[in-house]
Amino acid sequence: MVRIGGTRLHVMDAVSVIGAKRDGRELTDDQISWVIDAFTRGEVADEQMSALAMAIYFQGMTRRELVRWTAAMLDSGKRMDFAALPRPTVDKHSTGGVGDKITLPLVPLVAACGAAVPQLSGRGLGHTGGTLDKMESIPGWRADVSPTRMAEMLADPRIGAVVCAAGADLTPADRRLYALRDVTGTVPSIPLIASSIMSKKIAEGTAALVLDVKVGAGAFMPDADSARELALAMVELGADAGVRTVALLTAMDTPLGRTAGNALEVAESVEVLAGGGPSDVVELTVALAREMVAAAGIRDVDPADKLADGSAMDHWRALVAAQGGDPDAPLPTARHTAVLTAADSGTLTRLDALAVGVAAWRLGAGRARQGEPVQAGAGIEMHAKPGDPVTAGQPLLTLHTDTPEAFARAEAALADAVAIDRTAAPAQASPLVLDRIE
């Protein structure tokens, strides 16, 4: 601090903020507000913010720092306000998993229960797919929706939801920082993930939020303790901001459902909405829907009934059509397929989520850099899940791609993905919901 003519001026510079965090000191409120604001304005350079992210990765943040950091990210842009809607707002966020298409059946299901669901989603990067990439495989569907149209869709009792890209003016600091973290090995930091997710969700203006925090091989958080710490940090940030927030810890050792890839996952989601689909996808969709409905304050409605009676499907069709999509149009398919078969007979004991995610990504379902196109039809179908009996030579995985040269790299990613035990007995799937934090 310096004093000029009686006025106290705080003089900040990025190097001293980075140095303080590098050396394990707690950042002041002023340092945090300044560095996020200056970064958003382009005054703090990308390499400086990357160094600060790495210092945070190693040193962590105190609760006070995290609250301030999240508020500063929020203040970097605009906030949406849906308080005037005639129905309660509630949203969901997943920390990302392989085959995690839950948002697709979940959003119309919760809308069918009477809530308004403003789902601002992202595109995928790396081995986990993005909801917008999945939805964009539906012919005609568009992710850009104006704030006025969003409010109309949310208020419309036939739709009650919107799935769209966040506008550029919503938490611009997070947009810039996430792009840097992605290429500097600083994504898996609990305070950076918590502030990134919660600043976006608070800015989106939802009154209640349910978090699906993934644990396991295919997730950011490989163990339950770190997932619980992340969940708790986010639940506290939500509560501080007046957003009723609940988190479920859910298993991500093996992919969800039987598909990983954009159009393949849309088809599976439609099966769930039609009353079928894989049992794990149905179980998690209903579990999250019950949490969302309760968080929205809606009583006496069971989402399982709204799935069974077709009203969730009606909301899906209205939602797709409202964003230019044709819910009846055939989904795109990949030009080439290859089948991988079981090497042995026995019980499938492992189907590794990370390996399947990386293979689907290499087949063209995901992108390596922001802005790259993805293949709508690319991905993997899984014909058996852990616990299932398998016979030598039976199809285990079907790989889909438009670029057959990708098969070799995808197969390399899958080299150790599968284990078959000749002596193990077939088993029920392990529980998906591991814990609940409120």
Strands 346-351 and 389-390: antiparallel
- Are 226 and 262 within 8 A, CB to CB? no
Lookup: tokens for 289:
């829907």
- Catalytic pick from 91, 100, 133, 174? 174
Three-state DSSP at 26 gives coil
Indicate if 430 belongs to the active site: no
Q: Are 404 and 362 in contact (CB under 8 A)?
A: no
200 is catalytic: yes
Nearer to ligand URA, 134 or 258 (CB): 134
**The only residue of 193, 219, 287, 376 in contact with ligand URA, by rule CB under 6 A:** 193
Compute the distance between CA of residue 319 and CA of residue 28 in angstroms, rounded to an integer. 45
Q: Kindly report the length of the chain.
A: 438
CB 301 within 8 A of CB 114: yes
3-state DSSP call for residue 252? coil
Among the listed residues 197, 252, 353, 413, the single contact to ligand URA using CB under 6 A: 197
Site string for ligand URA, 116-155 (x = CB under 6 A): ----------------------------------------
Tokens for 324, please give them.
């230019």
Catalytic residue among 21, 101, 134, 200: 200
Using Cβ positions, the residue closest to ligand URA within the complex turns out to be 196
Those residues with Cβ within 8 angstroms of residue 144's Cβ, 6 or more apart along the chain or in another chain: 164, 165
Q: Which is nearer to ligand URA, 177 or 313 (CB)?
A: 177
Among 171, 186, 196, 323, binds ligand URA (CB under 6 A): 196
Q: How far is the CB of 187 from ligand URA (least distance, A)?
A: 6
Q: How far is the CB of 186 from ligand URA (least distance, A)?
A: 9
Which span sits near ligand URA by CB under 6 A: 67-75, 160-168, 186-194, 316-324? 186-194
Distances (CA, A) of 104 to 20, 165, 270: 43, 15, 8
Residue 234, φ and ψ in degrees, nearest 5? -70, -40
Q: For the beta carbon of residue 43, count every other beta carbon within 10 angstroms.
A: 14
Could you tell me the smallest distance in angstroms from the CB atom of residue 79 to ligand URA?
Answer: 17
Region 50-109 residues binding ligand URA, contact defined as CB under 6 A: 95-96
* Catalytic (active site) residue 196: yes
Stretch that binds ligand URA, among 72-80, 102-110, 185-193, 381-389 (CB under 6 A): 185-193
Residues with active-site annotation: 93, 174, 181, 196, 200
Residues forming the site for ligand URA (CB under 6 A): 95-96, 178, 187, 192-193, 196-197
